[in-house]
Structure 1
Amino acid sequence: MSPFVSGYIRFVDAVNYRIGRFVMYGIFIMVGILLWSSISKTFFLPSLWTLEAAQFAMVAYYILGGPYSIQLGSNVRMDLFYGDWSVRKKAWFDVFTVLVLIFYLGVLLYGAWDSTSYSLQYGERSPSAWRPYMWPIKMVMCVGFALMLLQAVSELFKDIARIRGEDV
């Protein structure tokens, strides 16, 4: 494996590992928002912002945690045949599926970038009573899709190394 490819893999894996470990605590932010929503509805006036803020927190948690999930191999697979295959055969199959994933993530990133630029240009707001700006969560989606795309390329490089019999 070339020094550039191994450096790329180390860098992308390190960045996504750190972001994933940080973002995994975002579940507590979402729980806190929903707890406040329950308390405020029971004892005070209901808050207008809690449901949408919890949805935004969940989007950030899910999208920014995706690259970490791919890195750990905790994504869902159909193990009917895959589990019995050799490492090289799994790598060949993974190369094909990662190429499809890279295409899909490219389309998602293109759409997210277009939507974010629209949101910034026109000051798009949510149609709810709270009316938050939409560009911050759309920017999080762009960053998450970009990180997931970088991680998918890293996984592609790892699978190619496995096919060649190189140590990853």
Structure 2
Amino acid sequence: MVIWKGIGKVIDSIAELMGRIGWLLVMYCMLFGVADVFFRYVLNSASQWIGASIQAAMVLIACMGGAYALKHNAFIKLDLFYANFSKRKKAACDIATSIFTFCFLGALIWKGIDAARLSIMLNQMTTTAIPIPIYPIKTIIPISAFVVLLVVIKQFFCDVKTLLGREKQIRESRA
């Protein structure tokens, strides 16, 4: 139990760190997006690298934001029925749908590793005037999917505890 709490804290810390990195990437996109427009339309001097770097940053935002959003339950759900369910029914629904999440993340990790390995092997770069390496971004995709998988596994075990009624037993034994 103590080991699981420690692992859960590590997973939460990693998700929080990824959220902060995502926040910095959003700021980067905003700052350099405005700068690119300024350079292009005011100074009549288009940038050759800002657009490609913003595209890469947007991919990284999606990667970094996934674990953070999942940890904070910030994904959009169809709450038409789910919102009125009891905690145990919500846990049962989450367990049932987690099968699809495991399959999706497994495929993303599996194929992401293949794509990253090929990109590293080919030393893949953007086709812009100033080549920017693509392989670091393709490498981060399966890594971030693995972190999301860790958050999903943590939530899955919390849902199992809720479904089995052990959540109440733990609270009562502490009181």
Q: TM-score, normalised by structure 2?
A: 0.88
> Equivalences for 1:92-111 in 2 at 5 Å?
92-111=92-111
1:92 deviates by 0.6
Deviations 1:36-95 (A, max 9, x none): 211211204211111111111111112111101001111111011111111001001101
Determine if the alignment matches structure 1 residue 137 to structure 2 residue 137.
yes
* SS of residue matched to 2:33: helix
Deviations 1:87-144 (A, max 9, x none): 0010011011122101111100111111111011111122333332210111221221
In the aligned structure 2, how far is the partner of 1:22 from the partner of 1:130? 25
Determine if the alignment matches structure 1 residue 58 to structure 2 residue 58.
yes
Aligned-partner residue type, residue 61 of structure 1 = I
Aligned-partner residue type, residue 32 of structure 2 = I
Contact 2:49–2:128, Cα closer than 8 Å, also in 1: no
> Equivalences for 1:115-130 in 2 at 5 Å?
115-130=115-130
- 1:7 corresponds to: 6
In the aligned structure 2, how far is the partner of 1:57 from the partner of 1:75? 21
Contact 1:33–1:53, Cα closer than 8 Å, also in 2: no
1:4 deviates by 3.6
- 1:19 corresponds to: 18
In the aligned structure 1, how far is the partner of 2:158 from the partner of 2:9? 11
Aligned-partner residue type, residue 119 of structure 1 = S
In the aligned structure 2, how far is the partner of 1:101 from the partner of 1:7? 24
Contact 2:21–2:64, Cα closer than 8 Å, also in 1: no
In the aligned structure 2, how far is the partner of 1:11 from the partner of 1:115? 28
Distance 1:22 1:129, change over 3 A: closer
Report the count of equivalent residues. Answer: 167
Identity %, equivalent residues = 23
In the aligned structure 1, how far is the partner of 2:126 from the partner of 2:110? 21
Q: Which structure has the bigger radius of gyration? A: 2
- 1:85 corresponds to: 85
In the aligned structure 2, how far is the partner of 1:120 from the partner of 1:15? 25
Aligned-partner residue type, residue 18 of structure 2 = I
* SS of residue matched to 1:127: coil
Aligned-partner residue type, residue 6 of structure 1 = K
Give the superposed CA RMSD: 1.6
Unaligned runs of 5+ in 2: 171-175
Deviations 1:10-53 (A, max 9, x none): 22112212321342232110111111211211204211111111
Aligned-partner residue type, residue 92 of structure 1 = A
